[in-house]
Structures are given as structure tokens and as C-alpha cells.
Amino acid sequence: TESREWWKESVVYQIYPRSFFDSDGDGVGDLRGVEAKLDYLAALGVDVVWLNPVYDSPNADNGYDIRDYRAIMEEFGTMDDFDRLLEGLHDRDIRLIMDLVVNHTSDEHEWFQQSRESRESEFRDFYIWRDGRGDGPGGRGEPPNNWESAFGGSAWTYDERTEQYYLHLFDEKQPDLNWENPAVRERIYDMMEWWLDEGIDGFRMDVIDLISKADGLPDGDPDSGWTGAEHFMTGPRAHEYIAEMYDEVLAGRDVMTVGEMPGATVEEAQQYLGPDGDGLNMVFHFEHVSLDYGESGDRWTVGEFPLPEFKQVLTKWQNGLQGEGWNSVYLGNHDWPRIVSRFGDDGLYRIESAKLLATMLFTLRGTPYVYQGDEIGMTNFPFERESQVQDVSARNFVERKKREGWPMDEILEVVSYRSRDNARTPMQWSDDENAGFTEGEPWIPVNPNHDAVNVEDAAAREGSIWNYYRELIRFRKSTPVAVYGDYELLLPDDPDVYAYLRTLGDDRLLTVLNFGEATPTFSLPQSVEYEDSECVLHNYAVDAEGPRSFELRPYEARVYELE
Ligand code: TEU
């Protein structure tokens, strides 16, 4: 049987501090702003906060380009503010996990500054430097291989000073660290220990499956969605490094870890996690959130989103990690569009569909992650102008398409669906100016729908999305089968309905989710027998009859306890 752990029973709430709450009127959210909302988090009932990067950074990628791992970004506050926040969380029995970004640093990090100084620098091998290929323009040669940056363009940038290229899988201001170098690993482990000694409760590890690059850095398949990926997603020594990190830093500490892994398969996850695995607790895999990638194989074309495939992917992970690890359950975060806009309906059925998605998050097997604002059903941003696009990856897309001669309205159409900015607009606290997020000028525009979609309204309104999240959180806490129950998919081929059963001893939970506007009839397979049933969660009024057969309303969600 599954071992009982606090991080399996927890609900995680993700805070993107830049957009959460601004305490000092400079238009940027900050640590004191999070502190000011601690009672809000406690009222919602979450157990763990995951804080996106708050370290000193020039913000080429909003904090994912770290200049100093042991200092707080000035805009966000001071180390004192951090300590106060941590204390305030712990006082409320809420744990804190921090983003650990160690695939790369900022090019302004002292290590890189030294590394780029000369080929003889003791920090040279902290990063990945190579000569260009051939003679190329100005004698620099072409980039050492054909790998692409996740944000578009070559993954290599030429540096005049020492006449070599350095590798960056993300922006050119995010040079990749060289994990082959034991001195790099040692510095990282020291830094992790330093933060754990500060009293934090774990890490969300940014793109941690990318840290090992294949020997010789061979060219990648140019037709894959991310050229080079097969040579750096779970590269040859990824498991070894993570197991080492576990032994050196994490073993024996009561912390929680979740590795963000853009390329991870179930089999790889089993090894990162499982009982004989590398020691991580959870991974964020990308399979269910990349199903609608179009013909480009990445997020910049829009494809189909078939429910049977979605169910099949989630089911593969539910079953694949049974006894072999533990799932993280998420539908969005700061890198994806708003979940209700993407998987639900942000118009007529915004409330119903937001509740349906929440029902799924809290009744699958795994630890649920709630991204700030999803608990009030925040939606994508209505982009109208190019100047509204801020995210580095979306900006690069806009520039690329402009060069290709695309009309701006077509570019903005894709951006509206895809840009990470959608999830980064300020948290909507009230219907006041700037949604109560700041007294100043917000760093990114507030969604105009804050007049209707905001915390103040939702918290006071019976039947709101917010109150439903609260109910779900309480439900999960008091219902062991919702946490530990085995998972079984029902009606795999049903194109409209996602239904599954969770079983723990004599306890059974049946979840039925209607993913659309159609009104299909649900029929519980005869093999599932029960004497009595009670509908314990629902987003419409439900009659007393059992779940044997009933017609579903648009985006209807029901959870039954079966006896
Ligand atoms: O994201 C990793 C990642 O691969 C993507 O989701 C990325 O946002 C996408 O490819 C861009 O189009 C993590 C962080 O969550 C993200 O915010 C950072 O930008 C990225 O790593 C680099 O640190």
C-alpha cells in the first residue's frame, strides 16, 4: 500500500509574485504583498505555497535568469521580508517551496562574468563553450550545432571576447551551466543547503531533466518540435546527477520536491521518482498540456484537443505511477494560458467549466497544484495591440512572424491563445482600479474583466468558483480515498465525458465530467455495482437519484460516493 506522506495529502498553491499583490505602489508585486495575503491563503485552505523565482535577477525571463542565488530581487523586497513571509506561512501551517533554477544562470551571474572573461578563467568550465563550425562569417564559424533555444533561434551565442560560442537552451541571457563539472554541482548543492537551512520546505526544480547534454553535443533532428531535444531531455547523466543531488542535499530532510520536466515519459518518471529511483517526489510532465500543439510541433501553432487522447494520457500517468511514484496534477501555471480559457469555456460557461476543471484537479490521484487566479476563474487576456505582448517567448514569436510577413491580427490571434502573458496579468482582488493589485501603474495590463471576476466578489458569493475550490480542498483533506484511492478509467472512448473511479478498501468515489456544451447521457458500466450512492460534489443542482444513468448539462461535473 501507498505510504502516507504530507506532500501527497497537500494542496499546493502557486504564487507568481510579480503579479500577486503590490504592497508599495511600484506596479510590481512583492514579498510584503504576499505576506499581506496570508490570511487569504489560509482561508482558501492550501497547505503548500510554491513561489516562483524571487532571487536577484535582471529579469530577461522574469526571474528565471538568476544573477545571485542568495539574494532577493530588489523589486520584491529584502531577505528580511523573505524571513517574515516564511514565518507568517509557517505560523499558519503552510509550507513553502522555492523555485530552483539550476539548468542555467543569468549572463550577469558572477560565474558567467568570470567565465566569459578568458578561456583560462577558473570559471570557464562552469558553462558550455565551443568553437564555431567552419569559417563562417567573420571567422567565427557557424554555431557548434543545430540546437534551438526554447524561445526561438539558435541555442548558441557568439562571444567576441574569447571568440567562442556559449550554449543557452533558453534566452541568450540564460547560459546553461555545465553539470559535467563537479565544481558546478558542488556550488549548487551548497546553495540548496543554504536555502533549506533558512527553513524552506522544498523545491520546484526548473527544467531539471535538461541538465545533462549528450557527449559531443551532436546535431538534433531538425524536424522535431525542439531541435536537439533528444540530446538533452533526460540526457545520459540526468538520473545520476539527480540521484547525487538527493544523496548530497535532500536525503534525510523532510522536504518536498517536484521536478519540472518538459520531455519526461512515464518510464523516465518512474526512475526519477520510484522506490528505487533518484529521490524526487513528483514531476511536472508536459504530455497532457502539449496535446494541442499544431503542425509546428510546438506551442506556436494551434492544433486539436481530442478528449479521448487527453484521458488516455492522464490515465497512462495515473496507472504508470501507481506504486512507482506519485503524480502532480496540474492544468496550467505561469507558462500556459489560463485553464478555463484553454480547457473550459471562458464565456457563457466560465463558472461551470472552471468548477469542472477544479473537480478533476482534486479527484485525480496525485497532488493538486492551483495556480493563482484559477480559484476565481481568471481568463486569458484580450490582446489588441503588439505593445501588450511582454513575454520573451511570445515576443520572439511576434518578431519571427513579422519577418515572415504575417499580418499582425493573425499573429495576435495565436498570441492570444498561447502567450504566457495570459497567466501573468495581475491577480484580480477587487473591482477597483487595477483590480486592487497596485496603487501604481501595473507592470502588465490588468484584465478588463476584473469588474466581474475578482476575489472580493467571489469570496462573498454563494456558489462561486472560489467557494467551490474551498469546498474541494476541505473535501480532499477529509476523504482518504480522494488522496490514496486506486484509479480506474471508465468509458475510455466516450468523446464527451471523462469518468473514473477511485477505490480505497470499501470506499469508492465516482467522478463524471462533461467536457463541453453537448448534453450526453452518462451510463455507469453495469460492472460497477453499488447499493447506495451520494452526490458529494456538483456544479449544478442534482436530484437524489443515483449515477446509474443521467443526462449531463454543459460542463457538468459530479462526484458520487458509492456504497
Ligand atoms: O519552463 C520550461 C519550458 O520548457 C516551457 O514551458 C517554456 O516556458 C516554453 O518552452 C516557452 O515557450 C521553465 C519555466 O517554468 C519558465 O517560466 C522559464 O522561462 C523556463 O523554464 C526557463 O527557465
What atom of ligand 1 comes closest to residue 64's alpha carbon?
A: 23
Query: Would you say 446 and 425 are in contact if contact means Cβ atoms under 8 Å apart?
Result: yes
How many other C-beta atoms are found inside a 10 Å radius of the C-beta of residue 507? 16
Which residue's alpha carbon is nearest to atom 9 within ligand 1?
Answer: 150
206 Cβ below 6 A of ligand 1: yes
User: In the predicted model, what is the mean pLDDT of residues 395-423?
Assistant: 95
299 Cβ below 6 A of ligand 1: yes
Cβ-proximal residues to 338 (8 Å cutoff; 6+ apart), any chain? 332, 346, 373, 374, 378, 379, 380, 422, 423
Which residue's alpha carbon is nearest to atom 3 within ligand 1?
Answer: 262
Catalytic residue numbers read 206, 260
Would you state the pLDDT for residue 78? 98
60 Cβ below 6 A of ligand 1: no
Runs of H (alpha helix) within 367-484: 392-403, 408-418, 455-460, 465-477, 480-484
Domain residue extents for the chain: 10-102+196-206+257-294+304-470, 110-167, 482-562
Is it the case that residue 259 has pLDDT exceeding 90?
yes
Would you state the pLDDT for residue 138? 77
How many other C-beta atoms are found inside a 10 Å radius of the C-beta of residue 108? 16
Fold annotation for 482-562: Immunoglobulin-like (2.60.40)
Is it the case that residue 157 has pLDDT exceeding 90?
yes
Would you state the pLDDT for residue 139? 82
Three-state DSSP class for 433? helix
Dihedral, CA atoms, 167, 71, 101, 52, nearest 10 degrees?
-130
Q: Are strands 507-514 and 557-562 parallel, antiparallel or unpaired?
A: antiparallel
149 Cβ below 6 A of ligand 1: no
Would you state the pLDDT for residue 301? 80
User: In the predicted model, what is the mean pLDDT of residues 324-330?
Assistant: 97
What atom of ligand 1 comes closest to residue 171's alpha carbon?
A: 22
User: In the predicted model, what is the mean pLDDT of residues 174-179?
Assistant: 99
Ligand 1 centroid distance, CA of 374 (Å): 20
176 Cβ below 6 A of ligand 1: no
Residue 305 banded pLDDT, cuts 50, 70, 90:
confident
CA distances in angstroms from 197 to 69, 254, 511, listed in the order given: 14, 12, 42
Cell 574569447 sits on residue: 162
61 Cβ below 6 A of ligand 1: yes
Residue 277 banded pLDDT, cuts 50, 70, 90:
very high
Of 456, 449, 438, give the one whose Cα is nearest residue 21: 438
Would you state the pLDDT for residue 287? 96
Is it the case that residue 446 has pLDDT exceeding 80?
yes
Query: Would you say 273 and 366 are in contact if contact means Cβ atoms under 8 Å apart?
Result: no
> What's the CA gap between 192 and 248, in Å, rounded?
10
Fold annotation for 10-102+196-206+257-294+304-470: TIM Barrel (3.20.20)
Is it the case that residue 429 has pLDDT exceeding 80?
yes
Ligand 1 centroid distance, CA of 165 (Å): 22
Q: Give the chain's mean pLDDT.
A: 97
Ligand 1 centroid distance, CA of 260 (Å): 9
Which residue's alpha carbon is nearest to atom 2 within ligand 1?
Answer: 207
Would you state the pLDDT for residue 274? 82
User: In the predicted model, what is the mean pLDDT of residues 365-369?
Assistant: 98
Cβ-proximal residues to 559 (8 Å cutoff; 6+ apart), any chain? 359, 363, 509, 510, 511, 512, 535, 536, 537, 538
Cβ-proximal residues to 202 (8 Å cutoff; 6+ apart), any chain? 7, 95, 97, 98, 255, 256, 257, 258, 281
Would you state the pLDDT for residue 420? 96
Ligand 1 centroid distance, CA of 94 (Å): 26
Identify which of 103, 203, 207 to mutate to test ligand 1's pocket (most ligand atoms within 8 A of the CB). Answer: 207
Is it the case that residue 137 has pLDDT exceeding 80?
no
* C-alpha cell at position 365: 490521484
What atom of ligand 1 comes closest to residue 61's alpha carbon?
A: 19
150 Cβ below 6 A of ligand 1: yes
Would you state the pLDDT for residue 1? 72
CA distances in angstroms from 12 to 48, 328, 378, 429, listed in the order given: 5, 10, 18, 20
Ligand 1 centroid distance, CA of 420 (Å): 9
Q: 230-256 pLDDT, tens per residue?
A: 999 999 999 999 999 999 999 999 999
How many other C-beta atoms are found inside a 10 Å radius of the C-beta of residue 439? 14
User: In the predicted model, what is the mean pLDDT of residues 200-206?
Assistant: 98
Question: Looking only at Cα atoms, what is the longest distance across the chain?
Answer: 80
Q: 55-95 pLDDT, tens per residue?
A: 999 999 999 999 999 999 999 999 999 999 999 999 999 99
Identify which of 167, 170, 203 to mutate to test ligand 1's pocket (most ligand atoms within 8 A of the CB). Answer: 170
Dihedral, CA atoms, 472, 474, 480, 485, nearest 10 degrees?
10
13 Cβ below 6 A of ligand 1: no
Query: Would you say 537 and 521 are in contact if contact means Cβ atoms under 8 Å apart?
Result: no
> What's the CA gap between 99 and 333, in Å, rounded?
13
Is it the case that residue 395 has pLDDT exceeding 90?
yes
Q: Tell me the CATH number of domain 110-167, given options 3.90.400.10, 3.40.50.720, 3.30.1180.10, 2.60.40.10.
A: 3.90.400.10
Would you state the pLDDT for residue 392? 93
Residue 275 banded pLDDT, cuts 50, 70, 90:
confident
63 Cβ below 6 A of ligand 1: no
How many other C-beta atoms are found inside a 10 Å radius of the C-beta of residue 120? 7
Residue 293 banded pLDDT, cuts 50, 70, 90:
confident
In angstroms, the first-to-last Cα distance of the chain is 22
What atom of ligand 1 comes closest to residue 299's alpha carbon?
A: 12
CA distances in angstroms from 186 to 56, 108, 176, 193, 377, listed in the order given: 21, 20, 16, 11, 43
207 Cβ below 6 A of ligand 1: yes
Helices 350-363/465-477 angle, 10° precision = 10
Query: Would you say 128 and 176 are in contact if contact means Cβ atoms under 8 Å apart?
Result: yes
Which residue's alpha carbon is nearest to atom 8 within ligand 1?
Answer: 335
> What's the CA gap between 26 and 438, in Å, rounded?
8
Residue 39 banded pLDDT, cuts 50, 70, 90:
very high
CA distances in angstroms from 47 to 102, 185, 253, 434, listed in the order given: 26, 31, 18, 28
Ligand 1 centroid distance, CA of 335 (Å): 6
Identify which of 206, 290, 331, 369 to mutate to test ligand 1's pocket (most ligand atoms within 8 A of the CB). Answer: 206
522 Cβ below 6 A of ligand 1: no
Residue 398: half-sphere exposure toward Cβ, Cα within 13 Å: 20
Helices (H) and strands (E) in the chain, counts: 16, 20
Cβ-proximal residues to 465 (8 Å cutoff; 6+ apart), any chain? 351, 354, 355, 358, 375, 376, 377, 458
Ligand 1 centroid distance, CA of 142 (Å): 26
Please give the DSSP secondary-structure letter assigned to residue 247: I
Of 443, 445, 467, give the one whose Cα is nearest residue 380: 445
What is the identity of the amino acid at 155? A
